[in-house]
Amino acid sequence: MEFIGLTCAMSSNPVPSDPAPAFSTADLCDLVENSGEELRVAEPVLRDFGGLLAFHGSIATLRCPEDNSLVRGALENPGAGRVLVVDGGGSTRCALLGDQLAALALERGWSGVVIWGCVRDSAALRRMPLGVKALAAQPCRSAKRGAGQAGSVLRFAGIEFQPGWHLYADADGIVLAARALHAVAATGGGGPGA
């Protein structure tokens, strides 16, 4: 698979690019409305940049304002369908993800990346079968100091992102659940008004 002069060897478990995912965030919200299950719904402040609009997976977290060294380090590990959630402090001064790190995420089996900050190479990102949500695009690259923290609870977009929780994202937004719910939603989770 080639992305603008960058060759990406796909993993043996590539991220599915199914145009009809087995869930929708709207159906998940309807499903848990009367169940007593906790569902966190992010404020609609992040934009879609990846070629895969609907994605989900268990959350891995990083806090690394204006430094993407830990982003690269995390994405070098097997993703196993997880979603990397990055708190970049909401900075719009530099990008924490570009086409090279997105290609690495695909190669290592990550489902998506959610960034409270910026991305770059947005035209290339749109052609990749990877879920990417961020505040904005910014052509400047980040610092490389190795600063940041992995595995902590993050707070942005009005909710807490906890490692190990399940993240669901689509064109309607982002929802989080303490456990995987997509199999339940696929069996008729849509409620009235769906």
Predicted pLDDT of residue 92: 97
CA distance 95 to 72: 13
What's the pLDDT tens digit per position in 172-182? 999 999 999 87
Could you give the angle at the alpha carbon of 111 between the alpha carbons of 167 and 44, nearest 5°? 45
Distances (CA, A) of 160 to 96, 110, 156, 170: 20, 21, 7, 18
User: Does the pLDDT value for residue 131 go beyond 90?
Assistant: yes
Share of the chain above pLDDT 90, in %: 74
Beta strand ranges found along the chain (DSSP E): 2-3, 6-7, 39-41, 47-48, 55-63, 83-87, 95-97, 112-119, 131-137, 149-150, 154-156, 159-161, 166-170, 173-177
DSSP string, 39-95: EEE--S-PEE-SS--SEEEEEEEEE-TTB-HHHHHHHTS--TT-EEEEE-TT--SSE
Task: Say if residues 90 and 104 touch (Cβ distance below 8 Å).
Answer: no
Distances (CA, A) of 125 to 8, 52, 113, 136, 161: 13, 9, 11, 13, 24
Predicted pLDDT of residue 181: 87
CA distance 93 to 119: 10
What's the pLDDT tens digit per position in 118-130? 999 999 999 999 9
Q: Give 57 or 31, the one with higher predicted confidence.
A: 57
What's the pLDDT tens digit per position in 52-110? 999 999 999 999 999 999 999 999 999 999 999 999 999 999 999 999 999 999 999 99
CA distance 49 to 26: 20
Domains and CATH numbers, the chain: 42-186 (3.50.30.40)
